[in-house]
Amino acid sequence: MPELAVDVVALDDALESLLQLEPRLAQVIELHYFGGMTYDEIAAAVGASAATVHRDIRLARAWLLSEIGSTAP
């Protein structure tokens, strides 16, 4: 499986943009990928179901990938 090279600055900028548009989506991404929390742990922390957290993470990942891709040279 090829590794995806990520521009950390672009990722940070995209997360900041997502935070302004959809704060919960940015929060679940940060809790899962940077905090190492499970869907159930995140669900308890944000007051949502694990299924909602799963959907939020999928949506946020797609948005971030699109945002980072649109800023690539």
Write out the residue range of the structural domain in which residue 36 sits. 8-70
pLDDT band at 1 (very low <50, low <70, confident <90, very high): very low
Domain presence at residue 3: no
CATH number of the domain enclosing 20: 1.10.10.10
Per the CB < 8 A criterion, the answer to whether 25 and 59 are in contact is: yes
Angle of CA points 35, 36, 37, to nearest 5°: 95
Domain presence at residue 2: no
Domain presence at residue 58: yes
Q: What is the pTM of this model?
A: 0.82
Query: pLDDT tens digits, residue range 14-64?
Result: 999 999 999 999 999 999 999 999 999 999 999 999 999 999 999 999 999
> Is pLDDT larger for residue 72 or for residue 52?
52
Domain presence at residue 63: yes
- Cα 65 from chain centre: 9
How many domains would you assign to the chain? Answer: 1
The whole-number pLDDT of residue 69 equals 83
